[in-house]
A and B are shown apart, each in its own frame.
Chain A
Amino acid sequence: MTDARPAFIPSERQRALVARGIRRRRRAERRFQAYGIAAIVFAVSMLALLLVSVAGQGWSAFLQTNITLEVALPKDEIDPDGKGAAAIREANFQAIVEDALFRKLGVSGRDDERLAAKMISAGSDAILRDRVLADPALVGKTVTIALPAHSDIDMAWKGHIRRGAPEQDRVVKDRQFQWLDALAKAGAVHTGFNWRFFSLGDSNEPELAGILGALTGSAYTMLVTLLLCFPIGVAAAIYLEEYAPKNRLTDLIEVNINNLAAVPSIVFGLLGLAVFLNFFGLPRSAPLVGGMVLSLLVLPTIIIATRASFKSVPPSIREAAYGLGASKMQVILHHVLPLAMPGILTGTIIGMAHALGETAPLLMIGMKAFIAAPPVSPLDPATALPAQVFIWADKPERGFQEKTAAAILVLLVFLVMMNALAVYLRRKFERRW
C-alpha cells in the first residue's frame, strides 16, 4: 500500500496570481491580433487613399469646357482671290476667332482684349482652320463652333480655382470670371467629353495635351519588349530546365538570372545608356532601345514562369511521346511546350504589365522628350505612358495636374486589363493532372 499523495490545492493567492496572469495573457493576445488587423487596415486604406486621390484628381480631365462662338468667316479676309485651300492655310484665323470672341463678350480696349483672348485655347485658330479646310464652302458664312476653353478657364469652370482668393493670387482674374458667367448665362459654355485627350500628342497648353503620343510610344516599346524577351526567355528556360548539365556554367547562369531579377531598374537604364546608346550608337529616345532595356528586365520573370510550368507537365506525357519514337526536341516542342503555354503566357503578361509601368530606365535612355507628334516607327523619338506621367507631374500649371492623374488612370486601366487577362488565362487553361 502506498500513501496517496494529497492533491495539489493552490492557495487563494496562487489562484489569484494565475487568474491575473491569464487576464494579462488574453489582453496580450487581443493586442497582438489588433496589431495584425491594424497593419492590414493600414495597407488597404493606403491603397484606397491612393486610388481615390488619383481618381478624384483625374476624372475631370476626361471632360473639357467648351465655349461656343458664332464666328463670321469673311471671304475678303480669308480667301479674297478664291485660291481655295492654299489661301485658307495662310489666313489669319487668330484674328477672326478673337474678333468673334470680343464681339460676344463685348470688350474693347487693349488690356481687356488681352485678358479676353485668354478665355479660349491658344489652339483655337488651328481648330477653326481645320474646320474650314474640311469644308471650304463655309468661307463667307458664319459658323457656330465650340472651341476649347483656355486651361485656366477650364479649371475655374470645374471649380478648381476659387473665386474667394485675392485676385493677384489667381490666374483667373475677376473680369474673366464675369465674362465666364455672362457666357454661361448666354448658354455658350458646355462641358463635353475630352476627345482631344486621346487623339493628340503632348502640348504646352494643358487643354491641348493628349496621351496619344505616349500610348503609341508605349505600344512600340511593349512590342519590341515582347518580340525580344518572349522567344529568348522561353528558349533560355527550355535549355535550363531540359538540357543544361549540372555544372559550373549552369550554376553561373542560374545565379545571374536571379541577380538580374534583383537589380534596381535604374541600373538597367544605365546599361542601356552606356551600351546601347553610347557604344552601339542606337538612336536616343527610341522605343527600340526602351524595348531592349525593358526586355532584360522582364527576362527573369518569363524564365521563372516557363520553368515552373514546364515542371508541372507530368512525366507521363513525355514518356508517351518518347514511346512513339519522338526525339527529345520533338517531345519538348510538340508536346511539353504547348501544354505549358498557358502558364508561360500568364507569366509573360504579368512581366509585360510590370514593364508597362516601368519609368526609371526609360528616363535614362531619353524617352522623356517632348513629343508633339506620335512616333511612326520604333526608331523615332518617343515617350511612354509612365514617362508622360512623370513629365506632366513636373509642370506647374494646374491643368497638367489633372492630366497627370488622368494619364495614371489610363495606365492603371491597362494594367488591370492585362492582369485580368492573366487571371482569366490561368483559370481557363489551368489543368490538374
Chain B
Amino acid sequence: MDYPVILATLLILSCAGFYLGRRRAIVASGGSLRALHSLPSYYGFYIAVWAGVPALILFLVWIAAQNSVIDHLVQAALPDPLRALAPDRKALLMADIRNIATGNVVRAQPDAAVAAAAEHYKRLAELSRWMLVAAMLLLTSLGTFVAYRRIDPAMRARNAVERAARWFLIVCSTIAVFATIGIILSLLFEALRFFDRVPVGEFLFGLRWSPQEALRADQVGSSGSFGAVPVFTGTLLITAIAMLVAGPVGLFAAIYLSEYASPRVRNWVKPVMEVLAGIPTVVYGFFAALTVAPFIRDLGLSLGLDTASESALAAGLVMGVMIIPYVSSLADDVINAVPQSLRDGAYGLGATRSEAVRHVVIPAALPGIVGALLLGVSRAVGETMIVVMAAGLSAKLTANPLDNVTTVTVQIVTLLVGDQEFDSAKTLSAFALGLVLFVVTLGLNVIALRVVQKYREKYD
C-alpha cells in the first residue's frame, strides 16, 4: 500500500465517520432537531475528527521515525566485519543497502552480505508499512467507536469541534517558528561538523579558498583549504557595485515619483518598476551572462583594460537593476509618510522643491531610507542566481570590478549541486557559508528594523 493510498483511505473513512455521526445525532434527537445542542453536522465533524486526526498524527510520526529505526535494526544485524567499519564508510554502505532495497540500480553486483542486508531492509520496510496500516485502522475504528458512544443530544459537539479547529490554527501558526528553528538547527549542526575539521578562525580569517579535496590518497596538490575571506570580499565587491547602482537610482526614482511626478506618470511608472521586481532572478542571470557581461568585456578590451569575461561589474550591475524596485518602493513609502505640513513650511520660507526635499523631507525620512538601503544590501548578499550565472568561480582577493570574483552563494551552489558525499569537509563548508549568510542577512534585517523604529520621527 502506498502512502497516498493510505491517506486517501483515511480521508474516506473520516468522511464516512461524518455521515455516521450526523445520522446518529438526527436519530438521537428523536425527530426534533431542536433537542440537539449543536447542528447535526457538528456531530458528524466530531466523529470525523476522532476518526481521522489520531491516525494522521500516528502516520506522520511513523514515517518520520521509521527510516532511522529500520537503519538501526539493519545495522545491528550486519555481519561483524561490516559492522566494524568506520562511521563514514558505514554511512556509504547503508546508502548502498537502501538503494538496492528500493530497487535503484547500483554500479556493481553487490556481495552476498550486502544483498542479504538489503533483503532484510526490504522485509523490514514492508513489515513497517503493514504495521502502520494496521495501527492506523485500529486507531480510526477506536476513535470512531469512542466518539459514536459519546453522541447524545445534550453533548456539546460544536464546542468540541471548534476546540479542535482552534488547535489546528495554532499548529499552523507555529510552522513559521518551526521553519526558523529548522533552518538554524540544520545550518548550525552541519556547520559545527565542519568546524570539527576546519577551525573557525581559519574559516573566517584564512586567505585561501580552494575547497577541492583529494579524491584518492595519492593525488597531489589538492589538500583543500577553507579560508573564506576571498569569498567574503567577492560578495562585498558585487554587493557594493549593486548598491552603487540601486541606491542612487532607487532613491532618485522614489523622490521623483513622490515629489514631482503627476499622478498619471506615477500610475504608469510604478507598475513598470514592479515588473522589474517580479522578474525571476534566473532571467536576470541570463541577461547578465549573455548580454551585459560580453558587452562589458568588449567595452573594457576596446579601452585597453584587462577585463574578465565574468566580471564582477556585470553581475553587480544587473543585481543593482534587480534591487532598484525594492529600494524605490520602500523609500517611496517613507517619503510619502513625511507630513505635507513640513514641506509647506519649507516652501513658505522660500525653499525650492529640491531644497525642501534635500533639507526637510530627506532628513525626516532618513531612518526609513537607511532601512530601505540596508534591506537592499541584505537582498544583494543573499541573491543567488545572478551571481551563479554571471560571476566567476575562482576566489580572488581583489577590489578590481573588472576581475572575476566569487560569492558566498555561488560557492554554496557549486559545492552542493551535483554528486556529493555528504560527509566531506567540502560539502559541509557550504553549510558553514550558509550559516554566515543567514546570520548576516538576519542581522541586516534586524538592524534595518531597529533603525526605522528607533529613529523614526513621530508627527501628529
- Footprint of B on A, CB under 8 Å? 25-26, 28-29, 31-33, 35-40, 42-44, 46-47, 49-50, 53-54, 57, 231-233, 235-240, 243-244, 252-253, 256-257, 259-260, 262-268, 270-271, 273-275, 278-281, 296, 299-300, 303, 327-329, 353-354, 356-360, 363-364, 366, 368, 386, 389-390, 393, 401, 404-405, 408, 411-412, 415, 419
Contacts of B173 in A (CB 8 A): 235-237, 239-240, 244, 253
12 A–B pairs (Cβ distance < 8 Å), ordered by A: A29-B354, A32-B357, A232-B172, A237-B173, A257-B176, A270-B434, A327-B162, A357-B278, A357-B280, A386-B280, A401-B290, A411-B280
Verify if B421 is at the interface (C-beta below 8 Å from A): no
Could you say which of A29, A43, A357 contacts B281, with CB atoms under 8 Å apart? A357
The answer to whether A267 touches B291, judged by C-beta atoms less than 8 angstroms apart, is no
The answer to whether A256 touches B422, judged by C-beta atoms less than 8 angstroms apart, is no
Q: Which of B157-208 contact A (CB under 8 A)?
A: 158, 162, 165-166, 168-170, 172-177, 179-180, 182-183, 186-187, 189-190
The answer to whether B413 touches A419, judged by C-beta atoms less than 8 angstroms apart, is no
In the bound assembly, the distance between CA atoms of A262 and B383 in angstroms comes to 12
In the bound assembly, the distance between CA atoms of A53 and B328 in angstroms comes to 25
The answer to whether B248 touches A393, judged by C-beta atoms less than 8 angstroms apart, is no
- Contact flags B381-401 to A (C-beta < 8 A → 1, else 0): 111110011000000000000
Contacts of A296 in B (CB 8 A): 179
Number of chain B interface residues as a range: 35 or more
- Given known pairs A33-B256, A36-B260, A264-B383, the reply for A358 and B172 (CB within 8 Å) is no
Q: Which of A37, A40, A231, A239 has the most CB of B within 10 A?
A: A40
In the bound assembly, the distance between CA atoms of A240 and B168 in angstroms comes to 12
Q: Can you name the residue of chain B whose Cβ is closest to the Cβ of A279?
A: B186
Could you say which of B273, B321, B325, B384 contacts A264, with CB atoms under 8 Å apart? B384
Contacts of B252 in A (CB 8 A): 35-36, 38-40
In the bound assembly, the distance between CA atoms of A273 and B169 in angstroms comes to 28
Verify if B285 is at the interface (C-beta below 8 Å from A): yes
Could you say which of B174, B259, B328, B434 contacts A267, with CB atoms under 8 Å apart? B434
The answer to whether B445 touches A368, judged by C-beta atoms less than 8 angstroms apart, is no
Could you say which of A38, A53, A256, A281 contacts B180, with CB atoms under 8 Å apart? A256
- Given known pairs A259-B180, A270-B431, the reply for A329 and B385 (CB within 8 Å) is no
In the bound assembly, the distance between CA atoms of A330 and B166 in angstroms comes to 12
Contacts of A44 in B (CB 8 A): 269, 272-273
Q: Give A38 Cβ to nearest chain B Cβ, in Å.
A: 7
Verify if B456 is at the interface (C-beta below 8 Å from A): no
Which of B126-134, B218-226, B436-444 makes up part of the contact surface?
A: B436-444
In the bound assembly, the distance between CA atoms of A327 and B157 in angstroms comes to 13
Verify if B353 is at the interface (C-beta below 8 Å from A): yes
- Given known pairs A260-B180, A262-B378, A274-B431, the reply for A359 and B416 (CB within 8 Å) is no
Q: Give A278 Cβ to nearest chain B Cβ, in Å.
A: 6
The answer to whether A327 touches B67, judged by C-beta atoms less than 8 angstroms apart, is no
Q: Which of B356-384 contact A (CB under 8 A)?
A: 357-358, 375, 378-379, 381-384
- Given known pairs A327-B162, A360-B384, the reply for A264 and B172 (CB within 8 Å) is no
Q: Which of B290, B328, B430 has the most CB of A within 10 A?
A: B290
The answer to whether A281 touches B352, judged by C-beta atoms less than 8 angstroms apart, is no
Q: Can you name the residue of chain B whose Cβ is closest to the Cβ of A418?
A: B278
The answer to whether A43 touches B276, judged by C-beta atoms less than 8 angstroms apart, is yes
Q: Give B93 Cβ to nearest chain A Cβ, in Å.
A: 16
Q: Can you name the residue of chain B whose Cβ is closest to the Cβ of A238?
A: B169
Could you say which of B165, B283, B328 contacts A389, with CB atoms under 8 Å apart? B283
In the bound assembly, the distance between CA atoms of A182 and B172 in angstroms comes to 68
Q: Which of B393-429 contact A (CB under 8 A)?
A: 409, 412-413, 416-417, 422
In the bound assembly, the distance between CA atoms of A415 and B321 in angstroms comes to 19
Q: Can you name the residue of chain B whose Cβ is closest to the Cβ of A328?
A: B162
The answer to whether A267 touches B389, judged by C-beta atoms less than 8 angstroms apart, is no
In the bound assembly, the distance between CA atoms of A37 and B166 in angstroms comes to 53
Could you say which of B325, B384, B442 contacts A265, with CB atoms under 8 Å apart? B384
Could you say which of A47, A270, A281, A356 contacts B187, with CB atoms under 8 Å apart? A270
Q: Can you name the residue of chain B whose Cβ is closest to the Cβ of A366?
A: B417
Contacts of B260 in A (CB 8 A): 33, 36
The answer to whether B321 touches A266, judged by C-beta atoms less than 8 angstroms apart, is no
- Given known pairs A33-B354, A43-B321, the reply for A267 and B413 (CB within 8 Å) is no
- Given known pairs A266-B382, A327-B158, the reply for A28 and B281 (CB within 8 Å) is no
Verify if B344 is at the interface (C-beta below 8 Å from A): no
In the bound assembly, the distance between CA atoms of A260 and B168 in angstroms comes to 21
In the bound assembly, the distance between CA atoms of A354 and B67 in angstroms comes to 34
In the bound assembly, the distance between CA atoms of A299 and B249 in angstroms comes to 31
Verify if B46 is at the interface (C-beta below 8 Å from A): no
Contacts of A275 in B (CB 8 A): 182, 186
- Given known pairs A36-B253, A262-B445, A266-B384, the reply for A419 and B67 (CB within 8 Å) is no
The answer to whether B64 touches A280, judged by C-beta atoms less than 8 angstroms apart, is yes
The answer to whether B278 touches A419, judged by C-beta atoms less than 8 angstroms apart, is yes
